[in-house]
Amino acid sequence: MKGLLISPTFPVLLSLIASFVTSLEQPSGSLPSACHFTCETSMNGTATFDFCESHSTLKIVGRCCLNDTDLGTLVLGVDLQKCGLSEGQFSAAISNMSNLMYISLEGNNMKRLQNFDFHQNTNIEYLSLPPNLSCPGGNGTWLMESSDANSTICQFEQNACDVHNVSCPSNSHCVHSGVDMVECLCNDGYYGYKCLEQGVFPITPFLIGITVPTVVLCIFLYVTQRRHVIQQRHKKK
């Protein structure tokens, strides 16, 4: 379980930064790399496939179950059975997916998966793992757990705030932020250390305070590095 006190403005800022970084890494309209993995088995007949086929608004592309919305394409399910993945490869593959409901991972060479490998996914309904693995998180993380010779099944992720009966400090509230993970966020009208400051977080001065030093540093590094390159060229001549 993880706890943190931050201003309500910070998640918005971090989300914008993450979206910007993602847009630089991936061409517009492209899907996550996990959707294009080559695996030994098809998705036909799997739990993720059946979930996707049962909803007319969803579609299957590659290894992913997608939902096209006004806000963009959301990945709700990913079937990565027998894709030759390690723990690190799986975690990296879903790093930008925070809406996953169905995940299938049987047949991969994984020795251990932990709650933070699933990033900020808070609504997982079905997770299937290799049979040697147990469901991530502590007691009460999943409503149902079962296993057989082929897989371990974890169903219906539970709200960690309720499971652990989290009590946040004054002027803040508990938010379920991932598998067996929570954050204590400031209530509306409060911000700062332990949410003691009242009012609206000064976002404009904050952004200016970050932007100006960053621009100055970039200019300084450009000038110094440029000078170094010119000096090296003169030496070679």
Q: Give the model confidence (pLDDT) of 203-216 as tens digits.
A: 666 577 678 778 78
Distance in angstroms (rounded) separating the CA atoms of residues 24 and 225: 24
- Of 4-8, 72-76, 134-138, 232-236, the one with minimum mean pLDDT is 4-8
Q: Give the model confidence (pLDDT) of 166-193 as tens digits.
A: 899 888 999 999 999 999 999 888 878 7
**Are the C-beta atoms of 180 and 136 separated by less than 8 Å?**
yes
pLDDT at res. 17: 43
Give me the chain's average pLDDT, please.
81
Evaluate the CA torsion angle 18, 24, 28, 33 in order and state its sign: negative
Of 15 and 196, the one with more pLDDT: 196
Distance in angstroms (rounded) separating the CA atoms of residues 63 and 67: 14
pLDDT > 90: what percent of the chain?
A: 36
The SS3 call for residue 78 is strand
pLDDT at res. 199: 59
- Other beta carbons within 10 Å of 14: 11
DSSP character at residue 183: E
pLDDT at res. 202: 56
Instruction: Tell me whether strands 72-79 and 64-69 are parallel, antiparallel or unpaired.
Output: antiparallel
- Which uninterrupted H or E stretch holds 154? strand 152-157
C-alpha closest to that of 183 among 168, 194, 193, 196: 168
C-alpha closest to that of 35 among 68, 71, 75, 73: 75
Compute the radius of gyration of the chain from its Cα atoms. 22
Is residue 227's pLDDT more than 80? Answer: no
Q: Where are the alpha helices (DSSP H) in the chain?
A: 9-25, 47-53, 87-93, 160-163, 203-236
Distance in angstroms (rounded) separating the CA atoms of residues 58 and 167: 38
Is residue 29's pLDDT more than 60? Answer: no
**What residues have CB less than 8 Å from 228, skipping those under 6 apart?**
none
Residue spans per domain, the chain? 31-158, 202-237
Q: Give the model confidence (pLDDT) of 110-152 as tens digits.
A: 888 888 888 889 999 999 999 989 999 888 999 999 988 889 9
Evaluate the CA torsion angle 149, 155, 161, 166 in order and state its sign: negative
pLDDT at res. 235: 64
